[in-house]
Amino acid sequence: MKRFITILLLFVAFQISAQTDAENLKKIYSNSLTNGMSYQWLDHLSNQIGGRLSGSLNAEKAVQYTKEEFEKLGLDKVWLQPVMVPRWVRGAPEFAYIETSPGVTTNVNICALGGSVATPNGGVKAKIIEVKTYKDLEALGVEKIRGKIVFINRPMQADLINTFEAYGGCSVERYAGAAEAAKYGAVGTIVRSLNLRLDDYPHTGSMGYGDLPLSQRIPSAAISTNDAELLSGMLALNKNLNFFFSQNCKQLPDVQSYNVIGEITGSEFPNEIIVVGGHLDSWDLGDGSHDDGAGVVQSMDVLRLLKESGIRPKRTIRAVLFMNEENGLRGGRKYAEVAKQKNENHVFALESDSGGFTPRGFSFQCNEAMLAKIQGWRSLFKPYLIHYFEEGYSGADISPLKDDTIVLAGLRPDSQRYFDHHHASNDTFEHVNKRELELGAASMTALIYLIDKYGTQTISNTEELRD
- The answer to whether residues 348 and 407 touch, using CB atoms and an 8 Å cutoff, is yes
Residue 93: which residues within 8 A CB-CB, separation 6 or more? Answer: none
* N residues, the chain: 467
User: Please, what's the b/e burial string for 139-164 (b: 16 or more CB within 10 A of its CB; e: otherwise)?
Assistant: eeeeeebeebbbbbbbbbeeeeeebb
User: Please, what's the b/e burial string for 22-37 (b: 16 or more CB within 10 A of its CB; e: otherwise)?
Assistant: eebbbbbbebbeeebb
Residue 316: which residues within 8 A CB-CB, separation 6 or more? Answer: 263, 264, 265, 266, 269, 270, 271, 272, 273, 274
Is 351 a catalytic site residue? no
Amino acid (1-letter code) at residue 207: M
- The answer to whether residues 353 and 410 touch, using CB atoms and an 8 Å cutoff, is yes
42, 28, 17: which is closest to 384 by C-alpha? Answer: 28
What's the CA gap between 440 and 351, in Å, rounded? 11
Could you say which of 180, 308, 325, 438 is catalytic?
325
What DSSP string describes 364-382? EES-HHHHHHHHTTHHHHG
Residue 367: which residues within 8 A CB-CB, separation 6 or more? Answer: 458
Is the bond preceding residue 292 a cis peptide, omega within 30 degrees?
A: yes
Report the catalytic residues. Answer: 325
